[in-house]
Every structure is written in C-alpha cells, then in structure tokens.
C-alpha cells in the first residue's frame, strides 16, 4: 500500500509535468492525498484527467461568481479549485454558487473541503441531484458510492451552511448542570497548596 507521503510527492511531480506551476502542483497533491485518506478515488481520477488533458482542452475559470457562464468545454477542476481557495473569503458571502460542466468533480471537491476548514463552515454540494456535505476538512459525507463519482458534473451547486448546534438549549443546560457535580469548592488547604501560595521561603 502506498503511503500518503508517497502519493502526495508523486501527484505533485505529475501535476508539474502536466504543465501546471509548482504552486498549483503542491495544492493539487494535497487534495489528491486528502481524497485517498477519505477513501475516495483521488489517484484514479487525477490520472484519468491528465490522460484526457493530452487529447482534449479544458476551460479555466479564474474568477468565480454566484452564477458562472456555462462553458462548451468542461472546466478544469484544478484551476477551478485553486481559484475557489484563493477567493474563499469573498465567496462565502454569496448565498449560492452554481457551476456547470465541471470535469472530474471529485478533485474539485477536495479543494472545497479544504475551503470548509479555512472559512470554518460546512459546505453543502448538490452534484447532479446527489448531495455531499463537507465537514471542516475532517470528512466528506456523500450518498454517491466511491466508484460512482462521475467524470463530468453537469450541474454543481454550492451552499455555505450556517454554524448551528445540533442540540437544543435545554439539552445543553441539562448536560452542563450534570457537569457541575465535578466542580470542587476551593478550601483553605487548596488555597495554600496552589501555585505561589507556599508558606516556606526557599530564598
């Protein structure tokens, strides 16, 4: 089994060899490593994408907006992902972002997962009527089977979710009240034993 370090190094070199800058190659390598750590087809899809790129051209999208124009050529998932990372602080202010015709969306999702950590928000993705939740770059929840990730996303919708508790205020109060049983009242002996409270001067 290949180590994550070996995966990252090889993907970085392969991305550079495919015509991208070293900076973009480094970001791509981190994303493919992330996909593999989540058990998603990172190596398979980046390999297929580089193979297709030799024969076909893909569209770059450098400035992302709420509604992006459809492209006759599929969008490059790497440039799209790097652009999203670079613009993450402004993009999170948008209500919804729509994209069409994205090549190998699994690669783009890895960039979005890292964005989720940067902005501190969960991100919901609707990919051709399939739902994906990105949780602060800790995991990716999806109802898409690993081997069923498409090579093209016809329609991709991105929503930034508000940070809310998954429990009620009453549930929190009950739990906090129980935790108070571990609190210890400060006694005279504890005060004397505390830092800087010794009675003996060693100087």
- Whether 192 is covered by a domain: the verdict is no
Structural domains in the chain (count): 1
- Whether 190 is covered by a domain: the verdict is no
Of 54-68, 135-149, 183-197, which has the strongest mean pLDDT? Answer: 54-68
- Whether 181 is covered by a domain: the verdict is no
- Whether 91 is covered by a domain: the verdict is yes
Q: What is the pTM of this model?
A: 0.85
> What does the pLDDT look like over 18-50, one tens digit per residue?
999 999 999 999 999 999 999 999 999 999 999
- Whether 94 is covered by a domain: the verdict is yes
Domain that holds residue 92: 4-160
Q: What is the model's pLDDT at position 80?
A: 98
> What does the pLDDT look like over 87-129, one tens digit per residue?
999 999 998 999 999 999 999 999 999 999 999 999 999 999 8
- Whether 148 is covered by a domain: the verdict is yes
Task: Tell me, letter by letter, the H, E, C secondary structure of the chain.
Answer: CCCHHHHHHHHHHHHHHCCCCHHHHHHHHHHHHHHHHCCCCHHHHHHHHHHHHCCCCCECCCCCCCECCCCCCCECHHHHHHHHHHCHHHHCCCCCEEEEEEECHHHHHHHHHHHHHHHCCCEEEEECCEEEEEECCCEEEECCCHHHCCCEEEEEEEEECCCCCCCCHHHHHHHHHHHHHHCCCCCHHHHHHCCCCCCCCCC
């Amino acid at each position: 089994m290949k180590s994550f370090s070996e995966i990252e190094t090889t993907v970085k070199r392969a991305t550079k060899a495919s015509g991208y800058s070293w900076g973009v190659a480094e970001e791509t390598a981190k994303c493919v490593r992330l996909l593999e750590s989540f058990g998603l087809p990172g190596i398979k899809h980046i390999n297929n994408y580089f193979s297709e790129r030799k024969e076909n051209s893909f569209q770059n999208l450098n400035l992302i907006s709420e509604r992006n124009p459809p492209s006759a050529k599929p969008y490059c998932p790497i440039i799209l992902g790097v652009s999203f990372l670079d613009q993450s602080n402004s993009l999170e202010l948008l209500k919804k972002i729509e994209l069409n015709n994205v090549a190998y969306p699994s690669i783009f999702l890895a960039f979005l997962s890292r964005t989720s950590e940067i902005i501190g928000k969960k991100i919901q993705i609707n990919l051709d009527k399939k739902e994906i939740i990105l949780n602060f770059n800790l995991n990716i929840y999806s109802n898409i089977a690993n081997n069923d990730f498409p090579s093209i996303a016809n329609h991709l919708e991105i929503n930034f979710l508000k940070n809310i508790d998954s429990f009620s205020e009453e549930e929190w109060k009950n739990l906090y009240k129980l935790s108070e049983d571990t609190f210890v009242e400060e006694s005279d002996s504890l005060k004397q034993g505390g830092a800087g409270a010794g009675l003996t001067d060693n100087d």
